[in-house]
A and B are shown apart, each in its own frame.
Chain A
């Protein structure tokens, strides 16, 4: 632990410094993805198979809202299960039976693996197949792992979507090309992108995940996928296995990122330049207008990213290129070099990227650098504030619409707000 690997491969093309670090990691596990996924897929239910710790995590994250009918729960493994006194599969069937009885409107049930269920090697994929057969056709049952030992925070969404891919309908081999936008986006963002694509003349656009379990898009060799989020490695691979081809692009954060992301799709679908410009010009103009007041607040300020969601590199690119911020360190829990290739190329030469984490040492570096703004998780935010550092808690970036032209100003505002607040408070 804490032994630093030698400096990562130095990529002469983009000139960033990538270093790997191992040690204590202050990150969420993939179960946390349930907190937003249960809202996105409206008739899905997430049943974690794990320990009391898992149940406690989810309710600590989501339980501040008062739920009349929550769409997530935990099947807590107890000592009878571990001792083999109770057959775990029978127990799971019983729990699922009780759940479905109580919530007959559920159409899609995810069995979500956790650290305990992975360590004892409970085969949830077979359980899902068995339960799917029993509950068909009313309820489909899928499984994925959100365990901390395998997934970090947003990788839970990746695992969830990847589990959906095999169940997506097969597109006809001779079907027209279709654009598949992958990654859970806020409903309003999804609608904006659909309108822009329509104006470009790309009208066969689908989104994964769909808002209803029964409306998942089809996939086949006609499918061109455009990743809306940087953390979808497994989902992309699963889609590629079903014939889909990825359109390489940076991610749609900020005006520049959104334009490049849309342009990649436009090029793939042969949209003529004038039409592309006509479709994007109003959004681009509005984004520029919305961003400009924040440049004065953010320009020249130094920002430090702790690893959290894999959004760090696109966000750092946006803050550096469009807002004029200086990047002290960009931490990321995991770096997918090919999905992030366009983003890395856009970072200023010499940017320090740290993949992985050794918490105490990273905090030492942060304190020593004394950045103007630190992007970090909620476990670190208040302690760093108390030490006099301005922080932006990173989880909010997953809970807020930030993609696309009309959210570019909102995205900048998220980073400006803690700085503005500091100037306002006189106590």
Chain B
């Protein structure tokens, strides 16, 4: 059993639902208990779709368990076929139905429907949402792509590609697709099939006709693209075009596979990010400590953009996508840090706290952590909520995507002038050191950082200062040394001096000073210790 405050991914049948909902002409019959229809809301509310997802749930109840749940499932398949007349069907079980073992695939086959019915085996107690989406897409491609539809000779026609990966409920998939499709078409390449988003089962039958495949989201489409590569000899481009450099590389690779000159598309200044980032207003972004967590695709891309296109310092990098742990570890090594590969929200919280980051780039879940710790935060990856399915065009990919990244990531940070003035004058009643950035709405109120710091202090102080007046002069913080024994004490003046450091770097200063004292076995931290530590570590 795992204690789960928040989960990064849903169960695997949600992944299957994302594929089914992305497509047209495909119906999904899901053996599931009453209540699992909550998943419809993900599509109708979070993504604001205007139609019910193409899914029929058996919604069995306790009283059905005594009778024939298999019969309920068979009826559901037969009726869904009759009502919706899909081109193809997928059938499977949710976590509870997996326990009662009704064999949806076998039952559906027994009905001998005149359409392809593809059974899904999605082990709900081992695998998760993205795996479910990838497996479902792979099974669909395997079952429906027609051999014999191999690419014809080029003789004069434009190159033809498939774009694979975008699904329903994907983080900015809608707008990424617009960007990338436009880039590809500007190169002089035609798009054969986009899948799963917008494709029908018969479109999947035409996948083999393309010259090559573009994989936008490897978590979802790598397995299918590998199958296509093997079956139809279609090369695949797997560079994820998030960030300026990655987009340039993507364009070059696509052009190379298609035998086309990329220069016209890359000419000029296709993104504003490079100039915005070089303009002097961005100088203060240099070395900002950033913690990055998300799915592997977005976390990897974000780490590269943060370090090489915005000049941040990556102090934490992790993913919940275990399948891509190797890539994430390699990238983390480039930043001199160890990757965090976990799906445990509490581990991520602990890592963010330990890294004393100034900015968190993460998922909806990291927004909870950042709120608790009072750290600015921007969302770079699913899981996400309704506000990250915006009405406006907001891609992450391509050159316009880079513009969006610049604005989104810089926005939560305190602006340069304000940061300078707070560093110099701390007693202003409006722009004090503990105030939230004034361009954000909660201006003036105490930042959550100080509230958390206070409550952490309270917790820590309780055992030591019990019985002492609240304004005890010396705050005692137990700091275990490497053997877990030593204790350093902050004296009052050092504590006061620490408060003069702006809150967004105060955590780092505190941790560095305590580490400095611990390494030197200093029992009392004075103002001198604080500055000695500062000189020792630099900023």
Contacts and interface: CB of A to CB of B under 8 A. Distances in A.
Interface of A: 1-2, 24-32, 49, 51-53, 55-57, 59-61, 63-64, 66-70, 73-79, 81-82, 86, 88, 91-92, 94-95, 98-99, 102, 115-116, 118-120, 147-150, 152, 360, 377-383, 385-386
Contact of A53 (B10, B65, B346, B385): B10
Contacts, number: 196
B37 A74 contact: no
B6 to A, nearest CB: 6
Interface in B21-44: 33-38, 40-42, 44
Interface in B58-85: 58-62, 64-65, 71-72, 75-76, 79, 83
Contacts of A49: 1
Interface in B403-453: 448, 452
A78 B1 contact: yes
Interface of B: 1-7, 9-11, 13-14, 33-38, 40-42, 44-46, 48-52, 56-62, 64-65, 71-72, 75-76, 79, 83, 94-96, 99-100, 123-126, 128, 346, 364, 367-368, 371-372, 383, 385-387, 448, 452
Nearest to A54: B95
A410 to B, nearest CB: 23
Given A79-B125, A150-B62, A386-B51, 15 more contacts: A1-B72, A29-B34, A51-B11, A52-B11, A53-B10, A55-B6, A56-B7, A66-B368, A76-B2, A78-B125, A95-B2, A95-B3, A98-B3, A119-B100, A383-B52
Contacts of B45: 378, 382
Contact of B368 (A52, A55, A70, A120): A70
Nearest to A74: B4
Given A55-B7, A382-B48, A75 B2 contact: yes
B518 to A, nearest CB: 25
Interface centre among A82, A115, A147, A360 (most CB of B within 10 A): A115
B459 to A, nearest CB: 9
24 contacts: A1-B58, A1-B76, A24-B56, A25-B37, A26-B37, A51-B125, A52-B11, A57-B35, A59-B6, A64-B386, A68-B372, A70-B5, A79-B125, A88-B1, A119-B65, A119-B96, A148-B35, A148-B59, A148-B96, A149-B62, A152-B35, A378-B41, A378-B44, A382-B50
Nearest to A90: B1
Contact of B44 (A30, A52, A381): A381
Contacts of A75: 1-4
B125 A82 contact: yes
A27 B38 CA distance: 7
B303 to A, nearest CB: 24
Interface centre among A29, A86, A379 (most CB of B within 10 A): A379
Contacts of B59: 24-26, 148
Contact of A78 (B2, B41, B60): B2
B4 A76 contact: yes
A28 B36 CA distance: 7
Contact of A28 (B38, B48, B367): B38
Contacts of B48: 382
Contact of A115 (B35, B41, B49): B35
A104 B52 CA distance: 43
Contacts of B367: 66
Contact of B124 (A52, A95, A98, A147): A52
A52 B10 contact: yes
A31 B35 contact: yes
